[in-house]
Structure 1
Amino acid sequence: MKSILKSKKKLLLVVMLMMITLTGCSVPRDRSGKTYVKSIITLKEETVEKKIVSTDYNEEVKKEYKDLKDTDLITLKPTSFGDMMDEGWFEGLIVFPIAQLINLVAGFTDGGIGIIAATLLIQLLIFLFSIKSQVASQRMQTLQPELNRIQAKYAGKNDERSKLMMAQETQALYSKYKINPFGTIVITFIQFPVILGMYQATMRAYSVVTGKFAGISLVNTPIQGFNAGHYAAMVIFVLMVLFQLISFKLPQWLQEHRKKKNHVKEKKYAEPKNAPKGMMGSMNMMMYMSTGMIAILAINWPLGMSFYWLVNSIARVIQNIIIHKFFIKD
């Protein structure tokens, strides 16, 4: 089990480093937070005031728009799939459809509703493709007492035979509950490119660049919104962090509720003295680390991204409740 947890920790660290690296290497905005005019993704021909976009992309773009006043309109041509594929497969296959979905829905409402609709659709698809992994993740909570029993049985035994017996009993336990201990990692790999794609889409979709939600610009960061006196921006940020934490903790809470409901009395080995250093402690540590990392990154992300993450976390909370109610047997 320790080796499994170490592998998961390494994976989480790698994913976080990749997220920071990739998002840092392909930010379609200048230092002031304005999106480059040539990076905006549109569903149809649109216009945008020069003052809300950045023309400081390269010398050619600067020259093209240098004579325009801040209030002058710049015409944007519809963005095609071919245009995005010219930038790269990631932009064409992931960023483009997400951004255009946001634009499509926002055409009937606003950018915020567009983000909500795109997020819910994406989460539904992820749920359908990764439901087995998510069920396995919650089942891991169920078998934790039995894992603790095995660990307690071989505690302090470092000989090869004991290690082998422990591994065999652990594997037999996974087989009994039909769980692949690495299956939960599938969720991370599915969500990772979507998160990066949404990050790009919330900065490049025309309806987000030019739109607002509840009177708040979706391209400003929570810090910018706070400095401008738009405290609703900080409310969205705080709710995002809160629901992110709830979405992580909910499976544990549901498991505790299930035990109380069924009057399950755990034996001493189910709660060993070194529990905080055990599997549950490691899971909690990863949970708090990932939430903290998201909070640090999100404080300087466009508010549209924080809004996405808030809706995404609420959707995961609902998914956990559905899995608990309909897929996890008491």
Structure 2
Amino acid sequence: MKKFLQEKSKIIFLCLFIVMTCTACSNPRGTDGKTKVDEIIASEQIEVKKSLVNVTEIEDKKLSNEYKKLNDDDTITIEPTTFSEAIADGWFDGLIVWPIAQIINTIASYTDAGVGIIVTTLLIQLIVFMFTRKSQMSSQRMQEIQPEMQKIQNKYKDKTDDRSKMMMYQETQNLYKKYDIHPFGSILVMFIQLPIMMGMYYATMRAASVVYGSFFGLSFSGTPIDGFTQMQFGYIIIYVLMIVCQLLSMKMPQILKKIQDKKDHVKEKKYAEENQNSMMNTMNTTMYFSTAMIAFLYISWPIAMSFYWLVSSIIRIIQSVVLHKIMNKD
């Protein structure tokens, strides 16, 4: 019971941390999907077309009324965003969003917004990995052994006596020991990764170089809907690849485990096959639902968000493959 309470306390603490993190930031986008002009983070003075930003839902109503008088092709001058201004809006904006957005702006100034997002995402993932390598490997193993976990659960299904419960617990612990898994290593990974991922997400929306930027001539201000209605294949390709890579990134640990099992000639026992389809159907339903939600939200948002999610998914796929090879070698 004591161990159970300790495990639950960690989950409760994580939930509270998520709530605190979410309440530390405001929504930088208006109902039209465009970034609010007063939420843009710039590293230098820039001029942005009114049509690329939201000017109707900003906090300064007097300034909003002035912007409304402008034509869509008129430009709005945005001053550089200082650290003191960012930290005044909250610790999350100042300590996480602002630095990431400025990194994107700096890299984009030498190349373009797309390269800025790619390099920044990769750089942040590498930094996080340096501090959470063991925890991420444990988390990856946990995902890969889900079928084996289900086998143990199926083996003792409908057995409620104390001896069966103890046997199931021992087999589960032996499985963790076999693969050197620390069940709550994933909690640490989420604890560190969550604010960074959210920071990267908000920074991508707010970085000035992304708001008015492009990638190989493809404007990031357009939406996937524009791609489908106006047959702009660049937008369509990014959006479709984002969905495909998101699905693949979620299934990759299980795919790698199946491939490894075939190489090792692992044979399944009869009890392991029971309810296996049910488990996979549940996992697939969750995966498809979450991906569908992302696809639904992003279809009307600037393609920059789809591009960022695509880059993140590709990095997660590569990371899964690298971790699997390291674990297999060990």
TM-score normalized with structure 1 length? 0.82
Task: Provide the secondary structure at the position in 1 that maps to 2:317.
Answer: helix
Q: Structure 1 residue 96 and structure 2 residue 122: aligned?
A: no
| Structure 1 pair 296–220 and aligned structure 2 pair: CA distance change class (3 A) | same
Alignment match of 2:179 (pick from 177, 180, 184): 177
| Alpha-carbon offset, residue 259 of structure 1 | 1.8
Deviations, residues 116-158 of structure 1 (Å, cap 9, x unaligned)? 1111112212322332233223433665565455434433211
Counterpart contact for 1:145–1:266, Cα < 8 Å:
no
Secondary structure of 2:185's counterpart equals coil
Q: Which amino acid aligns with 1:222?
A: P
- The whole-number CA distance in structure 2 between the counterparts of 1:145 and 1:78 is 52
* Secondary structure class of the residue paired with 1:43: coil
Contact 1:141 1:255 in 2 (8 A): no
Aligned to 2:242: 240
Partner of 2:112: 110
Aligned Cα root-mean-square deviation (Å): 3.2
Q: In the alignment, what sits opposite 1:201?
A: 203
Q: Is the CA contact 1:37–1:54 (under 8 Å) kept in the aligned structure 2? A: yes
Determine the structure 2 residue equivalent to 1:75.
77
Q: Which residue of 2 aligns with 1:321?
A: 321
* Shift in Å, 1:298: 2.2
Q: Residue by residue, what CA displacement relative to the aligned partner does 1:32-65 show, whole Å, maximum 9, x if unpaired? A: 3333222211111222233433332242213454
C-alpha distance in 2 between matches for 1:167 and 1:70: 65
Distance 1:44-1:168 versus aligned 2 partners, 3 A rule? same
What is aligned with 1:32? 32
2: CA distance between counterparts of 1:85 and 1:136?
35
Write the distance in 2 (CA, Å) between the matches of 1:156 and 1:66: 66
Stretch deviating more after TM superposition (218-227 or 244-253)? 218-227
Identical columns (%): 52
Could you list the runs of 5+ residues in structure 2 that have no partner in the other structure? none
Q: Match for 1:122: what amino acid?
A: I
> Quick check: 1:41–1:78 contact (8 Å CA) kept in 2?
yes
Shift of the 188–284 alpha-carbon distance from structure 1 to 2, 3 Å rule, reads farther
Please state if 1:294 is matched with 2:294.
yes
Quote the Cα distance in structure 1 between the aligned partners of 2:299 and 2:234.
Answer: 14
4+ residue segments displaced more than 6 Å? none
* Counterpart amino acid of residue 165 in structure 2: K
Measure the CA separation in 1 of the matches of 2:218 and 2:145: 46
Q: What is the aligned partner in structure 2 of residue 45 from structure 1?
A: 45
SS in 2 for 1:48: strand
CA contact (8 A) 2:204 2:304 kept: yes
Partner in structure 2 of residue 151 of structure 1: 153
The answer for the alignment partner of 2:303 in structure 1 is 303
Change (3 A) 1:191 1:284: farther
